[in-house]
Amino acid sequence: MPTIALHQKYRPKTLAELVGQPYVQTALTNAINRLHIAPAYLFTGSRGTGKTSTARIFAKSLNCLSFDGPTDEPCGTCQSCRSIETSNSLDVSEIDAASNNGVDDARALIERSSLAPVQGRYRIFILDEAHQLTTQSQNALLKCIEEPPPHVVFILCTTEVHKVLPTIVSRCQVFHFRALSLQTIAQHLQEIADAEAIAVSADALMVIARFAEGGLRDALQLLGQVSLLGETVTANHVIEMTGGVTATDLLIVLEAIATNDTFQLLQSARTLVDSGKTPKLILSSLLQTYRDLLILKAAPQATELLTSPVNYSQLKAILTHWDFDALNQSLAHLQKAESYLRNTTNAAVWLETCLLNLMPMLRSIPFNSPEAKQAVGKNGHSRKAISEPASATTVHKPTDLAALWQKVVASAKPGTQKLLTQARLTKLQGTKAILEVAPASFAKFEANQQAIARMLQRVTHSPKPMTVLIRTLTATKNGRSVSATPL
């Protein structure tokens, strides 16, 4: 016997079982109990929020044969309830308005509405995707919807209420089915996972809830899909199955940006693209993560607002690299890049360009640091951009050179850092720099001269390539003499 899909197996059978729609649930329950049945209803909302399911429940409540009148708790076992559940009822017609949207279909519906119910109390017409009805067919239904026979009830379901004629809307009781919250979806998924013995982590359920975008049906579809993996479902499993960017991939990109590692950044971007991730998806995921970083920077306790695949502890660890202004600038840059990406003919190259442009923005400078104070005048106006490259006449103090070289060392990979600590930056003027190294290390520095020049260019944000001179130190009787060797 084939297995029933989760969204069908756990479809609500009564109004009390409706998930995440308390307003709709209460209003329809009271309407049934007080016998205030309107001639027409309009259920509107995003996909998978329960519109059609509620229409069926309402139909069963009106026509349940186990009670003398309408009930808010239909039995589900009488002939009327079972036939409505299987869409075989003679009194309840479910009509696909997408394929029955012409004037002739509307006239046929009007003729059928004059017939008396066969078993139940009401003859009910459920029009799914009602916005697909043509303007002419909607106009043809106006009179019938406004003043139908006393035994007829119309229920129109639509995801695009703005396409329904205002004259139709004004003749219906309108119920708005809202998108379900992440917590509501995750809690309901957990109950079903427990009932079905599906091993799934709490993080994975939250990822499913985010992917569903407020629709419970989509969430149940995805839960049933990931349950086929045969192992404990994690957040990465869900992200991979939906084609998203995992937290691990995002952290690699963020770490490369934070450490000014151009090679690692470009390599990570190319790996993601080669694995089937679109540049738009990568930028969107990165934008979501930067948004979470900005929230945690401003409100560290607002964990319920986080939406990216990267969890709270990972975000807190990476957050130490940047200040609020740097994150804000990066977020604005990503937003602009996302709009440009729609019009570019070479999305992969534009993605790499966008990621590279993030690197100089993310230079972390404390608000009260000497550099930040020097960058702002007494009246609050900016004196000079902090990341502006030094001019050809600028002469740096030894303390500034030492601090600058420490940044170069910090930006290098762990294996290179040990080598760079054996050098000293003695002069920097424009794009020309001088390093002093011990004679034993000269050969290693000579082999890495291009890489050192690029690292120095990145740290100083120089628009032009750097020229680096290496000087070896030798001892003499009169002290120390310097032998300069240009690279």
Give the domain CATH number at 354. 1.20.272.10
Q: What is the extent of the structural domain holding 438? A: 398-486
- Band of pLDDT at residue 360, cut at 50, 70 and 90: low
pTM over 0.75: no
Q: How far apart are CA 473 and CA 440, in angstroms?
A: 10
Query: Amino acid identity of 357?
Result: N
88 and 191 in a single domain? The answer is no
- Give the rounded percent of residues in the chain with a pLDDT score beyond 70: 88
pLDDT at 192: 94
- Dihedrals phi, psi of 382, to nearest 5 degrees: -70, 130
The residues pairing with 476 across neighbouring beta strands, listed in sequence order, are 479
- Give the rounded percent of residues in the chain with a pLDDT score beyond 90: 32
345 and 427 in a single domain? The answer is no
- What is the distance between the terminal CA atoms of the chain, rounded to a whole angstrom? 77
pLDDT at 229: 87
328 and 204 in a single domain? The answer is no
Query: Amino acid identity of 193?
Result: A
450 and 328 in a single domain? The answer is no
- Band of pLDDT at residue 361, cut at 50, 70 and 90: very low
Q: Is the pLDDT of residue 102 over 60?
A: yes
56 and 168 in a single domain? The answer is yes
| In-domain check, residue 385 | no
237 and 200 in a single domain? The answer is yes
The per-residue pLDDT for range 431-457, each reduced to its tens digit, is 888 888 888 788 888 788 888 888 888
Structure tokens given for 382: 């900016």
Domain boundary among 194, 212, 241: 241
417 and 339 in a single domain? The answer is no
- Between 465 and 272, where is the model more confident? 272
Structure tokens given for 98: 């997408």
318 and 252 in a single domain? The answer is yes
What integer is the mean pLDDT of 103-123? Answer: 89
Domain boundary among 226, 241, 256: 241
CB contact set of 209 (below 8 Å; sequence gap of 6+)? 182, 183, 185, 186, 189, 219
Give the domain CATH number at 232. 1.10.8.60
| In-domain check, residue 382 | no
Query: Taking all residues of the chain, what is their mean pLDDT, rounded to a whole number?
Result: 83
Q: Is the pLDDT of residue 390 over 60?
A: no
Query: Amino acid identity of 393?
Result: T
| In-domain check, residue 261 | yes
pLDDT at 376: 40
43 within 8 A of 178, measured Cβ to Cβ:
no
Structure tokens given for 230: 């045969």
Q: Is the pLDDT of residue 396 over 60?
A: no
| In-domain check, residue 43 | yes
Give the domain CATH number at 446. 3.30.300.180
Q: Is the pLDDT of residue 368 over 60?
A: no
- Band of pLDDT at residue 193, cut at 50, 70 and 90: very high
Q: How many domains does the chain have?
A: 4
Q: How far apart are CA 186 and CA 180, in angstroms?
A: 10
426 within 8 A of 401, measured Cβ to Cβ:
yes
What integer is the mean pLDDT of 132-147? Answer: 90
Of 205, 289, 303, 292, the residue nearest 245 (C-alpha): 289
| In-domain check, residue 321 | yes
pLDDT at 478: 46
| In-domain check, residue 420 | yes
59 and 172 in a single domain? The answer is yes
pLDDT at 371: 43
168 and 77 in a single domain? The answer is yes
Domain boundary among 177, 201, 220: 177
**Could you tell me the CA-to-CA distances from 415 to 28, 236, 456 in Å, in that order?**
68, 30, 17
11 and 140 in a single domain? The answer is yes
| In-domain check, residue 56 | yes
428 within 8 A of 376, measured Cβ to Cβ:
no
| In-domain check, residue 374 | no
167 and 21 in a single domain? The answer is yes
